[in-house]
Chains A and B, each alone.
Chain A
Amino acid sequence: MSATLSNHQAIDLRESTIRELNAVLQSEDVTGSWLVSHPEGRHSIAVGLTAPIDIIIDGQAGYYAGGMNQHANLVIKGNAGPGVAENMMSGSVRIEGNASMAAGATAHGGLLVIEGDAGARCGISMKGVNIVVRGSVGHMSAFMAQSGNLVVCGDAGDALGDSLYEARIFVRGTVKSLGADCEEKDMSAEDLQILRGLLEEAGITEYSAEHFRCYGSARRLYNFHVDNAAAY
């Protein structure tokens, strides 16, 4: 690993502050590959990036790593704290460990890959992002998800897809319970194609798209009706 890493421009967070790190990574002329060492759970690592650069975070990240990312490709070699890749617009964030709650919250685009498990509210209010989780997701995942795709290779916790809008959810394992207005859908050819593409893009080869189930909005809460009041 050290051979590959030696080609990177390096920033050591034992020597540099988060402000210094982000200022460098956000600068207009930034290019190439970067290695961030000793992250040690610091918050807001590599947020607000706009350039198509590659960044390896060599350890654990705190809150909001890769927040609002545009075009950059991040790999976190440990676990990530709450709100990883929140409001991401484009690019990619890959977490080799687990992700805490609200991974990919409100993200509009790009690809978020979580190699381990994700906590509660994974993909909350997602607005177009694709999220692929190799493990399982916690309760209330894809809560109020508006668009995009959430792929869960393991199991999903309680109230999956509660108050869902137009996002798609694919789960290979069990779903503990579905949230209000979320229902299982027939997997269409288009769904299957999207799922295959996402698994491939995420580098997940051990699971076949045919073994997933598809969930979406029943659209019963789109316009208020008193007979559905108990669902709110």
Chain B
Amino acid sequence: MSQSKNTPPRTTPRFSATFDQFTISEIQRAAATGIYDIRGAGTKRKLPHFDDLLFLGASISRYPLEGYRERCDTDVVLGTRFAKKPIRLKTPVTVAGMSFGALSAQAKEALGRGASAVGTSTTTGDGGMTPEERGHSSILVYQYLPSRYGMNPDDLRRADAIEVVVGQGAKPGGGGMLLGQKISPRVAKMRNLPEGIDQRSACRHPDWTGPDDLEIKIEELREITGWEKPIYVKVGASRPYYDVSLAVKAGADVIVLDGMQGGTAATQEVFIEHVGLPILSAIRSAVQALQDLGMHRKVQLIVSGGIRSGADMAKALALGADAVAIGTAALIALGDQSPDLAEEYAKLGTVPGAYDDWQEGRDPAGITTQDPELASRLDPILGGRRIANYLSVMTMEAQAIARACGKSHLHNLEPEDLVSLTMEAAAMTKIPLAGTDWYPGKNGF
């Protein structure tokens, strides 16, 4: 007691909200290394998302369909606008573009096996098509990227659809990146690069700029492939109303809209966290653009970026999308972030659930690596089964919701089935705030 008279009381140590622990560690890291932080996966900040919407379900004014006994169809046809051979998916969830290089050959094979088992498609990535992924994917979308690594007309003709990649949600306006650790001899050969270098790839296509050129480019791709294949245009969510309008004008059959939650193999942290839109905020204006042009459901819309469940899928479809795509969720289904790997994650300075150094190629799950020993840990047959299970669960979840809303097809879900839980979600989607018939901006501000 006598001491306390002489020592003034001290306040509890207080951390800054602005200079939080992550921010401090990032400043320290930057000062020590002189290079920006590069990592995989998508944005980690909290954003308005599908969780901010709810379905109303049936009531006296709407009647539901019986689970299991009354049909709720899930099929979707993509590419009906110009392609002679549109793609038919049994379920409106596809596997997004991820390259061999970013992922191991085993992971690509597993994705192909899983998607094929449930009747949906997978997508190549920056680096070309491997015979394995063509062999194991009954429906394969071939990405046409600025780098054109591994791009050749034989693979173009072998593909079931072509996706012209303008951008991706994790980095709208950014080019590809693959660090030297992952440029293995096979990856280097496919990309025509020296082994072990840090690959810098372009952010703009080399032979076209702007929507008028894109129209000519799409026509060339159609001419090369006999107007058979659906042509997708993929954009990162940034100005969705204009991007969708221009893609339609340029002749796209299908538009892929990827929000900032969408993953990446390797991108600057600052880019992942600070550029682009959350997918929830982008869907309405994309759908509006299609409706204004009279092209909704004629040019199909695939949305991606943080899709995790049948609920997310059902909400995206109710907002007007034709299908969704998953990337990060598929990797988790394969075994990424598994608690079984806690010890190995600890060696990499991380914990299950937070592992994002996909660019390093040291993935203990054998997914985001080119190391033969690590990659061999992933059994592509078992992995394929896990992907198929997960895709089936997503589909059944979406059907459960759709039946509860009285819909005999997932595509009959509509905005009227939804309410918003937050003002932000209501403003972004024009779905009324729960308990009201109002959203911000309705009848003017």
Interface residues of A (CB under 8 A from B): 18-19, 22-23, 26, 43-44, 47-48, 50, 62-64, 67-68, 70, 82-83, 86-87, 89, 101-102, 105-106, 108, 121, 124-125, 127-128, 143-144, 146-147, 163, 165-166, 221-224, 226, 229, 232
B35 and A48 form a contact (CB under 8 A): no
Known A127-B192, A222-B197, A224-B198; judge A68-B156 contact (CB<8 A): yes
What residues of chain B lie closer than 8 Å to A44, measured between beta carbons? Answer: 216, 219-220, 223
15 contacts between A and B (CB under 8 A): A18-B223, A48-B225, A82-B207, A87-B151, A102-B207, A106-B207, A125-B148, A125-B202, A144-B201, A222-B180, A223-B196, A223-B198, A224-B198, A226-B34, A226-B35
B131 CB–A CB distance under 8 Å: no
Chain B interface size, under 10 / 10 to 19 / 20 to 34 / 35 or more: 20 to 34
A112: min CB distance to chain B, Å: 13
Residues of B within 8 A of A166 (CB): 194
Chain B residue contacts of A146, Cβ below 8 A: 192-193
Is A43 a contact partner of B198 (Cβ separation < 8 A)? no
Choose one: B152, B180, B207, B223; the contact of A105 (CB below 8 Å): B207
Binary interface encoding of chain B residues 189-226 relative to chain A, with 1 for a CB under 8 A from any of its CBs, else 0: 00011101110111000111000010011011001111
Task: Label chain B's interface by main secondary structure.
Answer: loop
| Interchain CB contact under 8 A, A87 and B200 | no
Residue of B nearest to A86 (CB): B207
Bound-complex Cα distance A23 to B227 (A):
10
Say yes or no: A64 contacts B207, CB within 8 Å: yes
Taken together as a complex, chains A and B put the C-alpha atoms of A96 and B144 apart, in Å, by 30
Q: Are A128 and B148 in contact (CB under 8 A)?
A: no
* Contact, CB under 8 Å: B151 / A106: yes
- Asked whether any CB of chain A lies closer than 8 Å to the CB of B147, the reply is yes
If A87-B151, A124-B207 touch, whether A64 touches B193 (CB-CB below 8 Å) is no
- Write out the residue numbers on chain A whose beta carbons fall within 8 Å of the beta carbon of B223: 18-19, 22, 44, 47-48
Contact of B226 among A18, A23, A108 (CB under 8 A): A23
**Quick check: B208 and A82 within 8 Å, CB to CB?**
yes
Residues of A within 8 A of B213 (CB): 63, 82
C-alpha gap A62/B216 in the complex (Å)? 10
Contacts of A64 in B (CB 8 A): 207, 216-217, 220
On chain B, the residues within 8 Å of A70 by CB distance are 153
The residue in chain B whose Cβ has the minimal distance to the Cβ of A123 is B206
Smallest beta-carbon distance B231→chain A, Å = 14
The answer to whether B216 and A128 touch across the interface, beta carbons within 8 angstroms, is: no
By a CB distance below 8 angstroms, the chain B residues around A224 are 35, 198
**B33 interface residue, CB < 8 Å from A?**
yes
Chain A residues with Cβ below 8 Å from B208 are 82-83
Interchain CA distance A44-B216 in the complex, whole Å: 8
Interface contact A105-B33, CB-CB below 8 Å: no
Distance in Å: Cβ of B359 to nearest Cβ of chain A:
12
Question: Which residue on chain B has the smallest CB distance to residue A50?
Answer: B153
Complex interface bits, B116-127 against A, C-beta within 8 A gives 1, otherwise 0: 000000000000
- Do B207 and A47 have beta carbons less than 8 Å apart? no
Docked complex Cα distance between A144 and B213 (Å): 21
Question: Across the interface, do A144 and B220 meet the contact criterion of CB distance under 8 Å?
Answer: no
**Which chain B residue shows the least CB distance to A43?**
B216
Q: How far is the CA of A62 from the CA of B212 in the complex (A)?
A: 13
Residue with the greatest number of chain A CB neighbours at <10 A, chosen from B192, B193, B217, B223: B223
CA–CA, A112 to B323, complex, Å? Answer: 42
Contact call B207/A83, Cβ cutoff below 8 A? yes
Give the docked Cα–Cα distance between A106 and B152 (Å).
Answer: 10
Give the residues in chain A near B147, CB-CB below 8 Å: 125
| Cβ A222 vs Cβ B224 within 8 A | no
